[in-house]
């Protein structure tokens, strides 16, 4: 079908939620309907295709959602058509991708826009390889998707972390305590790095740099020697000590199958610092607060640009692509780029070096960029 009147596209939001999802959906609907196309919203990620939860999206459906967090379509990190499990966590998954492909064809969807992180975009890539005309839009607060300088949702999450640290700063100073703030960041430390540095964190622990407790204690001691009787330690959930391992918690997750989820490193760090340094610590775990709330200006604007760019790629029949940000310009890269691995913080790169040069401690035994 040519991309003219009656052309129908589908859009879904997979994985976890992130501020700016509704901005993307709104932009897709406006840009597509402006071309005379129809838009079908698929609810709760790929699950919606299995469960026939698909509905038309009109301009009235996206009115007033630009400033709203979450997604009007719902999202889910279940329903991977290549590893489908019922119930969730019920062992090895089954390949039901052909059902999804046939469903897309029966719905008359001529092109599919997948808004998601690395997991959802990998699914999009696999569907594209099997002939589904697909365009991806990178979404994650972790900012770990390769092929784009920034994902939407990341900047709002960093602002949330920054404001939380601002509030903890005053109580830390008042009570002369070490405040440990655990933030999201499974494999990539972008949130801890940006949010922690913006909030004035004294110690920032990220997955890319295994840390030493003695280095952290030395930083705290040097601050106390200068009259600063408190410190702020920002730790990504995926950070771990040198020679140690990441910290997991058992989680039932609404099913009978226990699973391991990252979390708890903040309490471990506080326990070790108290025991080794005889200092008083308090722990704050920000958790899903980082995902929620109204998107900031950057993420609204970036999400809008991404949504429009995805529709333009479909109009140009440039499928199997992901839109991204390159400097200040929108570009696109093959979805295959997402399969190359996560975009991680360069432990010895200029970004870390600049922050370390301001005196921030990354838990290194011998900081290579001492101020």
Point out the residues of the chain with pLDDT beneath 50.
Answer: 1, 89, 256, 370-371
State the pairing for strand pair 248-251/259-262: antiparallel
Prediction pTM value: 0.92
| Confidence (pLDDT) at 367 | 59
Choosing from 118, 142, 187, 202, the catalytic residue is: 142
Q: At what angle do helices 190-198 and 154-175 cross, to 10 degrees?
A: 50
Sequence-separated (6 or more) residues with CB below 8 Å from residue 132: 101, 104, 112
Q: DSSP secondary-structure letter at 241?
A: B
| Confidence (pLDDT) at 76 | 85
| Confidence (pLDDT) at 371 | 46
Sequence-separated (6 or more) residues with CB below 8 Å from residue 185: 142, 191, 192, 206, 207, 236, 237, 238, 239
Secondary element (H or E) of residue 312: helix 297-315
Tokens found for residue 196? 């922690």
Which CATH code fits 8-152+295-340? Answer: 3.40.50.450
142 is catalytic: yes
CATH 3.40.50.460 fits 156-291+346-356, yes or no: yes
Query: Residue 308 and residue 117: Cα distance in Å, rounded?
Result: 18
Domain ranges of the chain: 8-152+295-340, 156-291+346-356
pLDDT in tens, 123-172: 999 999 999 999 999 999 999 999 999 999 999 999 999 999 999 999 99
pLDDT in tens, 19-46: 999 999 999 999 999 999 999 999 999 9
Which residue in this structure is represented by tokens 């990998």? 122
Let me know if the fold of 8-152+295-340 is the same as that of 156-291+346-356.
Answer: yes
Q: 322 burial class (0-12, 13-18, 19+ CB within 10 angstroms)? A: buried
Indicate the SS3 state at residue 179. strand
Cβ atoms within 10 A of the Cβ of 156, count? 25
| Confidence (pLDDT) at 369 | 53
**Residues 148, 324: contact at Cβ < 8 Å?**
yes
192-211: b (≥16 Cβ within 10 Å) or e: bbbbbbebebbbbbbbbbbb
| Confidence (pLDDT) at 78 | 78
| Confidence (pLDDT) at 91 | 53
CA-nearest of 213, 336, 358, 352 to 271 is 213
């Amino acid at each position: 079908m040519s991309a003219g009147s009656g052309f129908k596209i589908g859009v879904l939001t997979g994985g976890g939620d992130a501020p700016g999802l509704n901005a993307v959906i709104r932009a897709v609907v406006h840009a597509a309907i402006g071309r005379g196309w129809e838009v079908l919203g698929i609810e709760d990620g790929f699950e919606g295709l299995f469960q026939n939860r698909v509905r038309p999206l009109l301009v009235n459906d996206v009115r007033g959602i630009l400033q709203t967090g979450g997604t009007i379509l719902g999202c889910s990190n279940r329903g991977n058509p290549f590893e489908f499990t019922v119930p969730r966590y019920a062992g090895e998954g089954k390949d039901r991708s052909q059902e999804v492909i046939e469903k897309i064809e029966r719905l008359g969807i001529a092109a599919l826009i997948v808004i998601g992180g690395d997991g959802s975009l990998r699914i999009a890539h696999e569907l594209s390889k099997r002939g589904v005309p697909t365009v991806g839009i990178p979404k994650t607060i972790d900012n770990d998707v390769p092929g784009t300088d920034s994902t939407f949702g990341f900047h709002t999450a960093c602002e949330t972390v920054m404001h939380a640290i601002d509030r903890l700063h005053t109580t830390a100073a008042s009570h002369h305590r070490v405040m440990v703030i655990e933030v999201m960041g499974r494999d990539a430390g972008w949130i801890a790095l940006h949010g922690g540095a913006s909030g004035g964190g004294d110690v920032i622990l990220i997955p890319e740099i295994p840390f030493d407790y003695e280095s952290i204690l030395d930083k705290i001691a040097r601050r106390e020697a200068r009259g600063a009787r408190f410190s702020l330690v920002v730790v990504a959930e995926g950070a771990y000590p040198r020679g140690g391992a990441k910290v997991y918690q058992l989680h039932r997750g609404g099913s009978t199958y226990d699973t391991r989820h990252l979390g708890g490193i903040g309490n471990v760090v506080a326990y070790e610092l108290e025991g080794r340094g005889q200092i008083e610590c308090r722990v704050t775990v920000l958790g899903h607060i980082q995902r929620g709330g109204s998107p900031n200006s950057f993420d609204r604007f970036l999400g809008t640009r991404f949504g429009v760019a995805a529709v333009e790629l479909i109009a140009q029949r440039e499928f199997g692509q992901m839109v991204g940000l390159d400097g200040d310009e929108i570009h696109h890269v093959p979805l295959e780029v997402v399969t190359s691995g996560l975009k991680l913080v360069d432990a010895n790169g200029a970004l870390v070096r600049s922050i370390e040069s301001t005196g921030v401690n990354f838990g290194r035994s011998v900081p290579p960029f001492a101020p």
